[in-house]
A and B are shown apart, each in its own frame.
Chain A
Amino acid sequence: MRFLNLVTRRFIPPHGKGLEYAARAVTAGLLLGLGAAILVGIFGRPGSSGQAIDLVARQPAAGGWSRDRIVVSQGDRVRLRIRAEDVVHGFAIGRLGVDAGPVEPGKTVTVEFVADRPGEFTFYCTEWCDPNHPRMRGVLEVRGAGESAAPAGAPAPASDVTLQHLDDPRDTGIVPPDFPSAMRGLPPYGQGCASCHGAQGEGTDWAAAIGRREFLFSRSPVEVFRMLAGMKLPDGSTRVGAHGQNVAKRSKAATPHAPYARGWSDQERWDVVAALWSFATAADRIDLGRRLFQRNCAACHGEGGRGDGPGGRSQPKKPADFTDARRMLAGTGELYTAKIRRGGMGTGMPYWGSIFSEEELSALVDYVWTFALTAPLRN
């Protein structure tokens, strides 16, 4: 009371006229109004519908996402209010098909979706924001009905993760004289192969579908080249295993393919290989792969896939050069899928298995082939 009296005596003017009181009222109102506005801003805006979850994006060096785990229930309509604090960030949950697009500094982007599947889904930044950008990730945990604890955890590893040869050195031993061209490969393929394997490698009753992903997935381009050239494969044979199996089903002896490619130059053989790989994909898949690559990979691997992206400079190991035919053409789609899914294990490359769907992984690998094998398709 004494303090109140002191304040009253000191600050309430005994001589106050109307204007003075009005001025004090307006000044006090301004202060209170501003304070109230700030409180409203901090504790939630009136009129916002649904429960919004605020997510602040900062460069990984400054802390990354403000939350590294968001827990919702299955069936919830999730409303995320994403704000970038420093540079342009992006937000996506690959396996749920959620993409908020770029979030400019100081701007807030709201994205809404229904969490219709239980599980853990990785959300991640989709814009190159920092040398550690690939590590700017978090987990959206969608709990099923009645679940109170975290679900089983990460999805079961795909079978290819167990491949033992994932990090083995690869070397074709043979280099195409010129960049393989699917377009150039079409005429020799048409003359020598189409009559048995179909015009687009789709297979016939008596010959394998050699232009399909299922066939090519576990084969490297150099294997197919060697087979066409009559060279011995690492197992000592001169034929492609699945082809032989397919033929064997029809009770025919497996046929070495070199005779069919007789008279072809090495370049023509590589061109036919490129044609086979181009049969196994499609323009829309290449386009999807290109978008994924540019958004997520180009910063380190470079837009041209040469491993010369600016982000690669800060990695412990130089990113892979996809234009290095000697190395690239010795690998298989299966191998590259596994590497993307698993990550680089010490090379600095993050794992993408929890982010990309199988379709996205497949499209990305198709696009990666274009750097060494199927470039014409990009045009």
Chain B
Amino acid sequence: MSTRMAPRPPGATMRLELTRWSLLRNFLRQRALNWVVMTSSFAALLLAIAAGVLGTAAGSANFGIVFVWIVWWGLLMGVLLPLGGRLWCFICPIPAPGEWLQRRAIVDPPVNGKAPALLAIDGSNRSSDRERISVGWRWPKPLRGIWLQNAGFLGVALFSTVILTRPSVTGWVLLAFLGASVGMAMLFERRTFCRYVCPVGGFIGLYALTAPVELRVRDPLICQDHRTKDCYLGNAAGYGCPWLEQPWTMERNASCGLCGECLRTCTKDNVAVNLRLPGSDLLVAHGWKLDEAYKAFIMLACAAIYPVVFLGPWGWLKEWANLDTVSGFTIYALGFLLLNLVAVPAVHLGTAALTRWVSDLQEIPLRRLFVALAYALVPLGLAAWMAFTVSLVFANLSYALPVLSDPFGWGWDLVGTRAAAWAPMLTGWVPSVQAALLIVGLVASIVAADGILRKIHGGQATIRGLAIQAFVLTAEAALFLWLYLGAAA
């Protein structure tokens, strides 16, 4: 276990601690909070799976499609992720049953104040092996990081035209996620699935770097002197960090699921939830990793592919993506993978090399610059996804009303809204909102590029390097503007 302490984050004075208000602090410490939230979402998940598998094949009338790909997606990309980072991971029902089984409890803290062995670092002095349900293995080191999540997301994204439009496929995919999370909870410690496997968790973690909310220790020095490390190991008040994070070293949002266990277990009252300047985590240099850089490329590429396939006028491409013919889909899949894994990274590599050359940064390894500057793509990528989500949600959210009454499309009218007609909302505003989002994303990306270059360059500005970055980012933003406001409008 690393004993490195998190340095005081830069701009710490710009933080507003939300948990200094006792009302909020006490609320977040309630053990029942996670259960209420997760059980509610778990019920919705089960309904989505059941509706997907058993309900109507018409996506617009199926709870599984409407509530997962319109309501949930809109909530995630429009609100939760940009404002709350990994807030969805706090709500997400997929790890719920596995975690309940691991803990043998839904709400209760660990037995006699001791975490089950699988949650303990040492294993021996916490609870007896007799009580184990999960094997509690550690996730293999070579698989740590988000490469698996990248691959999983690519797989889901590649088949997204099928998954997003066919309720039964959505149902089975959700069921597979649930099964995988339970299975992994029985084999591996804590939320290994969430941290290393969940295809959604990967991009949420990346984009959570931009969030204006963070959970951090107040004073790392207090943790340094605190030997029992209850936030990691658990105590009578709660479980050790399910996300395998060590809060006293945490400087980024990437792997904090905001579950609040450390708020409960910290005996020094040294954990806080803060408001901060969005995007601070992008500049945390030791967090720059190749797997996350590739996640940024993949998300950027998919943000360009989705409007083309889903919203664009190119019917033949949609047919290819929709698996209408094997040959068509093969061409689409090759193009999709090439764009994600080769073309976008290649453009970025060229840009990084040019930046390195014009900025006299030859002493910096190209690989380091390549990885670091990928984080400048994160705000623009998030903005592009939000722009895509706006067009999707504004046009389709009204499907939620009839589906609430008739989740399976069987003719029910549970809450009297079955006959509610589809009515696109505020569609006249969509182009303006999309343009505004993309412009804000572009500016944020240029600011992030500047911060990253300064960080690499020992705090000095590199005007020429920034100009290269700004030019390429602007070109990418222009491409998105054309895709959303021109080609797909």
Closest B residue to A108 by beta carbon equals B411
Taken residue by residue from 74 to 113, chain B's Cβ proximity to chain A (1 for < 8 Å, 0 otherwise) reads as 0000000000000000000000000000001111100110
Binding site for B on A (CB under 8 A): 10-11, 13, 15-17, 19-20, 23-24, 26-27, 30-31, 34, 38, 41-42, 45, 58, 81, 83-86, 105-108, 110
Contact between A20 and B408, CB atoms less than 8 A apart: no
Closest A residue to B62 by beta carbon equals A106
Contact between A83 and B410, CB atoms less than 8 A apart: yes
Contact between A107 and B61, CB atoms less than 8 A apart: yes
B421 to chain A, nearest CB (A): 10
A85 to B42, CA, bound (A): 27
A58 to B104, CA, bound (A): 46
Closest A residue to B107 by beta carbon equals A23
Contact between B61 and A17, CB atoms less than 8 A apart: no
A310 to B399, CA, bound (A): 30
Question: Which 9 A-B pairs give the minimum distances between C-beta atoms?
Answer: A106-B61, A106-B58, A108-B411, A105-B58, A23-B106, A85-B57, A106-B409, A20-B108, A23-B107
A114 to B58, CA, bound (A): 30
Taken residue by residue from 415 to 442, chain B's Cβ proximity to chain A (1 for < 8 Å, 0 otherwise) reads as 0000000000000000000000000000
A296 to chain B, nearest CB (A): 24
Contact of B57 among A27, A34, A58 (CB under 8 A): A58
B415 to chain A, nearest CB (A): 13
Contact between A34 and B108, CB atoms less than 8 A apart: no
Asked whether B148 is an interface residue with its Cβ less than 8 Å from the other chain, the reply is: no
Q: Identify the interface centre among A15, A17, A58, A110: most chain B CB within 10 Å of its CB.
A: A15
Contact between B56 and A85, CB atoms less than 8 A apart: yes
* Chain B: interface residue total (CB-CB under 8 A): 31
A110 to B133, CA, bound (A): 51
| Contact A41-B46, Cβ < 8 Å, known A15-B111, A84-B58 | no
B251 to chain A, nearest CB (A): 34
| Contact A86-B58, Cβ < 8 Å, known A19-B107, A108-B411 | yes
Closest A residue to B111 by beta carbon equals A15
Contact between A45 and B61, CB atoms less than 8 A apart: no
Asked whether B16 is an interface residue with its Cβ less than 8 Å from the other chain, the reply is: no
Contact between A83 and B32, CB atoms less than 8 A apart: no
Contact between A31 and B106, CB atoms less than 8 A apart: no
Asked whether B394 is an interface residue with its Cβ less than 8 Å from the other chain, the reply is: no
| Contact A41-B60, Cβ < 8 Å, known A23-B39, A23-B107 | no
| Contact A15-B108, Cβ < 8 Å, known A34-B46, A42-B54 | yes
Q: Which of chain B's residues have a CB closer than 8 A to the CB of A24?
A: 106
Asked whether B344 is an interface residue with its Cβ less than 8 Å from the other chain, the reply is: no
| Contact A108-B46, Cβ < 8 Å, known A11-B104, A20-B105, A20-B107 | no
A20 to B32, CA, bound (A): 9
> What are 20 contact pairs spanning A and B, CB under 8 A?
A10-B104, A13-B105, A20-B106, A23-B106, A23-B107, A27-B39, A30-B39, A30-B42, A31-B46, A34-B47, A38-B50, A42-B54, A45-B410, A45-B411, A83-B56, A83-B411, A84-B58, A85-B56, A86-B57, A106-B58
A54 to chain B, nearest CB (A): 9
A20 to B61, CA, bound (A): 37
A106 to B410, CA, bound (A): 8
Contact between A23 and B43, CB atoms less than 8 A apart: no
Asked whether B412 is an interface residue with its Cβ less than 8 Å from the other chain, the reply is: yes
Asked whether B35 is an interface residue with its Cβ less than 8 Å from the other chain, the reply is: yes
Contact between B411 and A110, CB atoms less than 8 A apart: yes
Contact between A41 and B408, CB atoms less than 8 A apart: yes
Contact between B42 and A17, CB atoms less than 8 A apart: no
A115 to B411, CA, bound (A): 24
Contact between A34 and B32, CB atoms less than 8 A apart: no
A108 to B61, CA, bound (A): 10
| Contact A23-B47, Cβ < 8 Å, known A16-B108, A108-B410 | no
Contact of A38 among B54, B57, B409 (CB under 8 A): B54
A19 to B30, CA, bound (A): 12
Q: Which of chain B's residues have a CB closer than 8 A to the CB of A105?
A: 56, 58, 60-61
Q: Which of chain B's residues have a CB closer than 8 A to the CB of A85?
A: 56-58
Q: Which of chain A's residues have a CB closer than 8 A to the CB of B107?
A: 19-20, 23
Q: Which of chain B's residues have a CB closer than 8 A to the CB of A41?
A: 54, 408, 410, 412
Closest A residue to B399 by beta carbon equals A106
Closest B residue to A58 by beta carbon equals B57
A3 to chain B, nearest CB (A): 15
Q: Which of chain B's residues have a CB closer than 8 A to the CB of A27?
A: 39, 42, 106
Q: Which of chain A's residues have a CB closer than 8 A to the CB of B62?
A: 106
B379 to chain A, nearest CB (A): 38
A101 to chain B, nearest CB (A): 14
| Contact A10-B133, Cβ < 8 Å, known A30-B42, A34-B47, A41-B412 | yes
Apart from A27-B39, A45-B410, A107-B61, 4 more pairs, CB < 8 Å: A23-B35, A41-B408, A83-B409, A85-B56
Contact of A13 among B54, B56, B104, B408 (CB under 8 A): B104
Q: Which of chain B's residues have a CB closer than 8 A to the CB of A45?
A: 410-412
A20 to B133, CA, bound (A): 18
Q: Which of chain B's residues have a CB closer than 8 A to the CB of A84?
A: 58
Q: Which of chain A's residues have a CB closer than 8 A to the CB of B46?
A: 30-31, 34
Taken residue by residue from 15 to 40, chain B's Cβ proximity to chain A (1 for < 8 Å, 0 otherwise) reads as 00000000000000001100100010
A57 to chain B, nearest CB (A): 10
Q: Which of chain A's residues have a CB closer than 8 A to the CB of B104?
A: 10-11, 13
A110 to B411, CA, bound (A): 9
Contact between A106 and B411, CB atoms less than 8 A apart: no
| Contact A13-B108, Cβ < 8 Å, known A27-B39, A30-B42 | yes
Q: Which of chain B's residues have a CB closer than 8 A to the CB of A58?
A: 57
